[in-house]
Chains A and B, each alone.
Chain A
Amino acid sequence: MSLCIAGMGWVTPLGSGLDSVWQRMMRGDEAIASKIAGPFETSKSYSAFRVPADALTDLPAHPRLRRASAISRFAVAAGLAALKEARLTIDRDIIDRTALVFAVANGGVSYTKRFYHDIVQAGASAASPLLFPETVFNAPASHLAAVLGLTGASYTLVADGAAGILAIRMAEDLMADERFDYCLVVGAEEADWVLCDAYSKWRLLRSEPPIEPFHKRPRGTVLSEGAGAILLARKGVIGIKKVHPGGNFFRRTAATQWTAKVLSGLDCETATVIISSANGTFIDEAERTALSQMRCKACVYSPKAALGESVGASGIWQIIVGAQALLTRQLPPLLHSSMETGINQTAAGTRADENIVLDCGMNQQIAGLRLTAKAENSSCVEG
């Protein structure tokens, strides 16, 4: 079964608004990093790409959002934008025919850190009952469902950087049931010092931008935050032709083999563009080697130098980039990547009508999908 993209929305460090962020990316803009200070006196500070405050100006004044964490706000803003783009209102007729899948890797880290920090500093009696409910992984999905009035199926899917595509796969599984006409897939993440410190301890982070995709010696990534949302339907102008279910690599050295398997399953030799997850870490080498092994000649683009590595949101951002490339027949320039990478990085104009989006996560999971341009609002249902 394949599905269509009926609407898209995103909240990114380059702002929100599908077209405005896209235009900035096409101009070669990249997000500006800011420093995040730690909770302890001796804490090192880290660079991260944050969402600018004006990116959330359209957020409704809903009671659920009064105390909600940043990740919930990002998720709601992106979800509403996707519905708006699809001109879809969740009314009584479709409320039971719409599912929600929320993808996340790290979740409401800021509130979790604040909640536990109080316990560490002053004991259990200092724990805040206001913060705790916001620490659960499905709090953003709950807020989004409440804002939209959704009362049916809602799933929060936790994974690594592959979360976005795994969520699309889960949505595809859900929509195998004909009771559903729509599935809103949202991926979100918020940046916090504790996450930066953790990724630094994993030797995956670099202290300052830029992210240099496919550099011969991986120099590390820079975390970012935001959300991406895709409304899946049975009709639309962008089709999701195939979602590879992916797999898990138990050692980093096996990432190449799994990437090649996913590329092979998506017929990469016939794709003209690959939206890669290269982020300045070991992922880049895994993807480059797999692309070479598969003799894949496609033009490769990673949005992470421009938008940062937002883990749970990144996969959805990549799909949106892939869809925009099909719709506009253009691709932004791959930033901070030298020509010696062995990667085909022809930028700007592209005649692509089928793209592959590849998500190799940093914690053992990998998945991919293939997008295709459809005739205006045609059906995506096969078989």
Chain B
Amino acid sequence: MAIVGAGIVSPLGTGLTETLHCLRNARDCVTPVTRFPVDQCRCKTAGQIPDEWLEGSAKGRRVQRLHRVSHMMICALREALESSPQFKPELTVIGTTSGGMSYGENYYRSLDRHGTARRSPTWLSNYPPQKPVLDAQEAFNISAPCQVIANACASGTNAIGHAFNCIRSGKYQRVLTGGYDAISELVFVGFDSLQAATPEKCRPFDRERSGMVLGEGAAILLLENWEGAVSRGAKIFGEIIGYGISTDNHHLTQPDPSGIGPRRAMEGALRSAGISATQVDYINAHGTATAFNDAAEAKAICELFGRVPVSSTKGMMGHSLGAAGAVEAVFCLLALQNQFLPSNINFRRPDEDVDLDIVANEARPASPRTVLSNSFGFGGTNASIVMQKTDA
């Protein structure tokens, strides 16, 4: 399955070039939260995209009313289509968790303060999760049917994986896929209330990890069946070669400590790719830096892969929830194209219970050919994809 286009906007920057620069330099792009009050929260930081990065993403009076996450999607899709302008998707599969949530918050706060909300039609019509996807499609005159997947934090990887399966089955030739999410007060406070968010730095897989920070972003991949892409002479960025999905019924918010859920997803992805664990050169871990997630994921990785280089890139930009899987797939693509391993920043001391080869604090020069990316979410959803460098 050929990746014939990619686009991204995240706290690391807009576009593949800026993103690559930040990844190579292991930049910490987590900043104090300014969008809503956090004085009563434990955590006060997040990976955020400045609004000025999104200015001019699209033009027109209607466009000004769109939620900022629609602008993120438009930015990401524009970049993806620039590398493959002939790409006409038959299907769009996008992951998200919360759509234009902050517009819902505006509406509710306005009701509380004023009893009504003059701008409510604008807020409400731009709130549904499918709206940013349709806005991005409309901006580029695309009208493919949309499947918007909301599998919590695994949404982005599930979207890419499902898109991959749709093409592999022969039912579709070209699928537009990815994920998006924007930071919002409700979600931020929610994770804070669970004490899953940290007041300190996000330190995935560190012995003293104390939780996650949130992030935001949008990333798009254009997938095409290999023969079609080659026959039309498309630039091929890389390949998706496998996908695995599993459901862990242990708890709504906590993984089974045995790591069985992540393990089954990774095993499924390897099986789907037709490769063995020894052929994987790098794992971009879900690695939220919460005690339970990292322990379960590390256990599953150790059991299945032994010592393979692992990093979580969430220390650099936070956890962008429904976007995370797509954002991290683009990170993996950049790693494959530019032959390095992205780093796991803020790492100090390894967890004594697991023996992982953490790509600590600095990007590592390497020659990865095959990488695996994990995403796990509330509700026990687990997803893994396998990506490969292309020689074409």
Which residues of A are at the interface with B, using a C-beta cutoff of 8 A? 1, 40, 42-43, 64, 100, 104-105, 112-113, 115-117, 119-121, 123-125, 127-129, 132-139, 141-143, 145-146, 149-160, 166, 169-170, 173-174, 176-177, 194, 197-198, 201-202, 245-248, 250, 363-365, 367
Complex CA gap A159/B149 in Å reads 9
Q: Out of A133, A145, A157, which one reaches B253, CB within 8 Å?
A: A133
In the complex, the answer to whether B149 meets A151 with C-beta atoms within 8 Å is no
A138-B377, A138-B379, A173-B171 are known contacts. Are A364 and B190 too (CB-CB below 8 A)? no
Tell me the B338-382 residues at the A interface (CB within 8 Å).
377-381
Q: Out of B97, B151, B192, which one reaches A155, CB within 8 Å?
A: B151
Does B129 belong to the interface (CB within 8 Å)?
yes
Does B274 belong to the interface (CB within 8 Å)?
no
User: Residues of B contacting A151 with CB < 8 Å?
Assistant: 246-249, 264
In the complex, the answer to whether A202 meets B152 with C-beta atoms within 8 Å is no
Does B120 belong to the interface (CB within 8 Å)?
yes
User: Residues of B contacting A64 with CB < 8 Å?
Assistant: 252
Contact with A along B166-209 (1 / 0, CB 8 A): 10011100000000000001100111111100000000000000
In the complex, the answer to whether B194 meets A156 with C-beta atoms within 8 Å is no
Which residues of B are at the interface with A, using a C-beta cutoff of 8 A? 37-41, 90-91, 96-97, 99, 105, 107-109, 111-112, 115, 117, 120-121, 124-125, 128-131, 134, 137-138, 143-152, 158, 162, 165-166, 169-171, 185-186, 189-195, 245-249, 252-253, 264, 377-381
In the complex, the answer to whether A247 meets B108 with C-beta atoms within 8 Å is no
- Majority SS at the chain B contact face: mixed
Q: Out of A129, A138, A170, which one reaches B151, CB within 8 Å?
A: A138
In the complex, the answer to whether B91 meets A124 with C-beta atoms within 8 Å is no
User: Residues of A contacting B380 with CB < 8 Å?
Assistant: 142, 145-146
In the complex, the answer to whether A149 meets B143 with C-beta atoms within 8 Å is no
Number of A-B contacts (CB under 8 A): 192
In the complex, the answer to whether B186 meets A155 with C-beta atoms within 8 Å is no
A132-B190, A176-B169, A248-B137 are known contacts. Are A116 and B150 too (CB-CB below 8 A)? no
User: Residues of A contacting B111 with CB < 8 Å?
Assistant: 40, 43, 197
In the complex, the answer to whether B252 meets A133 with C-beta atoms within 8 Å is yes
User: Residues of B contacting A139 with CB < 8 Å?
Assistant: 252, 378-379
Q: Which residue of B lies closest to A201 (CB)?
A: B120
User: Residues of A contacting B41 with CB < 8 Å?
Assistant: 124
In the complex, the answer to whether B134 meets A154 with C-beta atoms within 8 Å is no
Q: Which residue of A lies closest to B107 (CB)?
A: A198
Q: Out of B128, B149, B150, B189, which one reaches A160, CB within 8 Å?
A: B128
In the complex, the answer to whether A138 meets B152 with C-beta atoms within 8 Å is yes
A119-B189, A198-B124 are known contacts. Are A149 and B249 too (CB-CB below 8 A)? yes
Distance in angstroms from A257 CB to nearest chain B CB is 11
Report, nearest first, the 5 A-B pairs whose CB atoms are least far apart: A142-B379, A137-B150, A132-B190, A176-B169, A124-B40
In the complex, the answer to whether B150 meets A363 with C-beta atoms within 8 Å is no
Complex CA gap A51/B3 in Å reads 47
User: Residues of B contacting A155 with CB < 8 Å?
Assistant: 149, 151, 158, 162
User: Residues of A contacting B91 with CB < 8 Å?
Assistant: 245
In the complex, the answer to whether B150 meets A156 with C-beta atoms within 8 Å is yes
User: Residues of B contacting A160 with CB < 8 Å?
Assistant: 128, 130
Pick 25 A–B contacts, CB within 8 A, sort by A: A40-B112, A40-B115, A43-B111, A116-B108, A124-B41, A124-B193, A129-B193, A129-B194, A132-B191, A136-B379, A138-B377, A142-B247, A145-B247, A151-B248, A157-B149, A158-B96, A159-B146, A166-B146, A170-B147, A170-B162, A176-B169, A177-B165, A246-B145, A363-B130, A364-B130
Complex CA gap A149/B277 in Å reads 28
In the complex, the answer to whether B143 meets A120 with C-beta atoms within 8 Å is no
A159-B130, A248-B145 are known contacts. Are A146 and B185 too (CB-CB below 8 A)? no
In the complex, the answer to whether B147 meets A42 with C-beta atoms within 8 Å is no
User: Residues of B contacting A245 with CB < 8 Å?
Assistant: 90-91, 145
Q: Which residue of A lies closest to B150 (CB)?
A: A137
Q: Out of B137, B166, B245, which one reaches A173, CB within 8 Å?
A: B166
Q: Which residue of A lies closest to B147 (CB)?
A: A170
Distance in angstroms from A245 CB to nearest chain B CB is 4
Distance in angstroms from B31 CB to nearest chain A CB is 19
Distance in angstroms from B331 CB to nearest chain A CB is 24
Complex CA gap A138/B98 in Å reads 11
A155-B149, A201-B120 are known contacts. Are A135 and B247 too (CB-CB below 8 A)? no
Q: Which residue, B117, B131, B380, has most C-beta atoms of chain A within 10 A?
A: B380
Beyond known contacts A170-B147, A202-B124, A245-B91: 13 more, CB 8 A cutoff: A115-B190, A119-B189, A120-B108, A120-B112, A124-B40, A127-B189, A134-B252, A156-B151, A201-B120, A201-B124, A248-B138, A248-B146, A367-B145
Q: Which residue, B37, B147, B166, B170, has most C-beta atoms of chain A within 10 A?
A: B147
Q: Which residue of B lies closest to A250 (CB)?
A: B138
Complex CA gap A251/B148 in Å reads 20
In the complex, the answer to whether A248 meets B143 with C-beta atoms within 8 Å is yes
Complex CA gap A134/B171 in Å reads 35
User: Residues of A contacting B189 with CB < 8 Å?
Assistant: 119, 124, 127
